[in-house]
Structure 1
Amino acid sequence: MKITEVKINSQTPKEMFEKDIEENKSLPLRTKRCKDCPATDMYLEISEELSKQEPDIQSEAAKRWFCHYTRNKSCRGIADYLSIKGDIDVKDNEIQTK
């Protein structure tokens, strides 16, 4: 049984991420991951969907996924997750495609 199920106006996950990229600005990456980062806990299903997208979408969406503590920084947890499960790297505290 899944605890949460995300459905957004019948958009595909790709459309959801593309809309986010279009509507939000890129943020500087947070230096460290939060101890209670929801990207790999509460939002794991969304993180998994993002890891299945094209590398450019992963990179650009991760740059816009804001930290739940520091909203003017992008989430280090999703960047770290995608560097393991997806197709991005984190070099010199910058998100880039592999």
Structure 2
Amino acid sequence: AAVVPMAQAMELPPNDYPTVTRADYVYGCMQANGATREMLEKCSCSIDQIAALLPFSAYEEAETIKSVSMRGGEQVAVLQNPAIQAKVKKLQMAQVEAELKCF
């Protein structure tokens, strides 16, 4: 039997989020909910659930839209487009489902 190196044997799911994105989410979640071991587990569960429901590109796009929307100004008017808001809504739905499963 041939031995396959571990890196080749493991295939990451197509929607796998970068570690820094997962860590940033968990950090923000813990800042909002408490810096305890319990929250570490719940927040980690939450981003894992979101990643299972939403490809990284969709997550990144929705987070960018939310970030720009918070700044205000002329750019925000463009973001009120229903198609753009639907992208944010998908993220919000994934977050709700993650909260129900993890918290």
User: Which protein is bigger by CA-based radius of gyration?
Assistant: 2
TM-score (norm 1): 0.27
More helix, by proportion: 2
More strand, by proportion: 1
TM-score (norm 2): 0.26
